[in-house]
């Protein structure tokens, strides 16, 4: 049996981690509505990032190609959700003068994922406790999650809003 935190992440995990973040941290006082979450191949955008929060589109993008374990996915979603909670106007100003590893809002997001990642993992373990289901690469699909509605990302399906 594969250690739970080492499982290959899949779209069901994205939704469960996102729900956990919403319950744990709540709504941003700066960025309005909850963001959409997109979990798809890296070739849809530059492909080098693990994830990013787009404050204009109100969307968290997760690069599924970068995430080899469930713990990777947890850390990225918490990190990007932290950016959703932050004042991104201040983020952009500081980003002009600071490298990413010196940016206080990046440091805060990293610390948040390090601090709360284990709690989120325990939460997921408790949800999946009675199942032996582990995803393989063949099960992993493009996914689009729109405010908790998940559908395959085939660009032809309509979402129920």
pLDDT band at 65 (very low <50, low <70, confident <90, very high): confident
pLDDT average, residue stretch 58-75: 92
77 and 18 Cβ atoms separated by less than 8 Å = yes
13 and 41 Cβ atoms separated by less than 8 Å = no
> What pLDDT is stored for residue 144 in this prediction?
38
**C-alpha separations of 151 from 59, 94, 118, 138 in Å:** 16, 36, 28, 17
> What pLDDT is stored for residue 133 in this prediction?
47
> What pLDDT is stored for residue 134 in this prediction?
46
Assess whether pLDDT exceeds 60 at residue 122.
yes
Higher-pLDDT residue of 5, 147 = 5
> What pLDDT is stored for residue 44 in this prediction?
63
28 and 85 Cβ atoms separated by less than 8 Å = yes
pLDDT average, residue stretch 25-52: 86
Distance CA 24, CA 140 (A): 27
The region of weakest confidence among 37-46, 49-58, 152-161 is 152-161
pLDDT band at 17 (very low <50, low <70, confident <90, very high): very high
Measured in whole angstroms, the distance separating CA 62 from the mean position of its chain's CA atoms is 6
Higher-pLDDT residue of 76, 95 = 76
pLDDT average, residue stretch 67-77: 94
């Amino acid at each position: 049996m594969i250690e739970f935190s080492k499982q290959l992440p899949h779209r069901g995990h994205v939704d469960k981690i996102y729900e956990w973040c919403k319950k744990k941290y709540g709504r941003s006082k700066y960025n309005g509505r909850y963001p959409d979450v997109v979990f798809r191949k890296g070739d849809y955008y530059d492909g080098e990032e693990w994830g990013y929060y787009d404050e204009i589109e109100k969307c968290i993008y997760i690069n599924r190609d970068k995430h080899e374990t469930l713990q990777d996915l947890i850390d990225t979603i918490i990190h990007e959700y932290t950016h959703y909670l932050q004042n991104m106007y201040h983020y952009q100003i500081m980003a002009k003068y600071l490298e990413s590893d010196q940016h206080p809002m990046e440091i805060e997001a990293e610390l948040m994922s390090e601090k709360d990642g284990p709690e989120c993992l325990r939460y997921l373990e408790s949800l999946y406790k009675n199942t032996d289901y582990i995803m393989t690469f063949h099960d992993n699909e493009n996914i689009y999650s729109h405010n908790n509605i998940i559908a395959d990302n085939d660009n032809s399906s309509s979402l129920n809003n």
